[in-house]
Amino acid sequence: MAGTARKDREMAMNAKRQLGECSDPVERLRLQCLARGSSGIKGLGRTFKIMDDDNSRSLDLKEFLKGLSDYGVQIEKKEAIDLFQIFDKDRSGTIDFDEFLLTLRPEMSKARKEVVMEAFRKLDKTGDGVITVEDLQGVYNVKHHPKYQNGEWTEDQIFRKFLDNFDSPYDKDGKVTKEEFINYYSGVSASIDSDVYFILMMKNAWKL
Give the domain ranges of the chain.
2-104, 110-206
pLDDT over 70 at 168, yes or no: no
Angstrom CA distances, 195 to 7, 42, 110, stand at: 14, 22, 10
What's the pLDDT tens digit per position in 113-141? 999 999 999 999 889 999 988 888 877 77
Most confident of the following: 92-101, 120-129, 154-163, 180-189: 120-129
The CA R_g of the chain, rounded to the nearest whole Å, is 18
Q: What pLDDT score does 121 carry?
A: 94
CATH superfamily of 2-104: EF-hand (1.10.238.10)
Cβ neighbours around 79 below 10 Å, total: 16
First to last CA, the chain: 14
SS3 190: helix
State which amino acid sits at residue 35: A
Separation CA 69–CA 61 (nearest Å): 12
What's the CATH fold of domain 110-206?
Recoverin; domain 1 (1.10.238)
Position 1 confidence tier, pLDDT thresholds 50, 70, 90:
very low
- pLDDT of 2 reads 44
Confidence (pTM): 0.67
Measure the CA–CA gap between 165 and 172, rounded to whole angstroms.
10
Task: Express each pLDDT in 175-203 by its tens digit.
Answer: 888 887 887 788 788 777 789 988 998 88
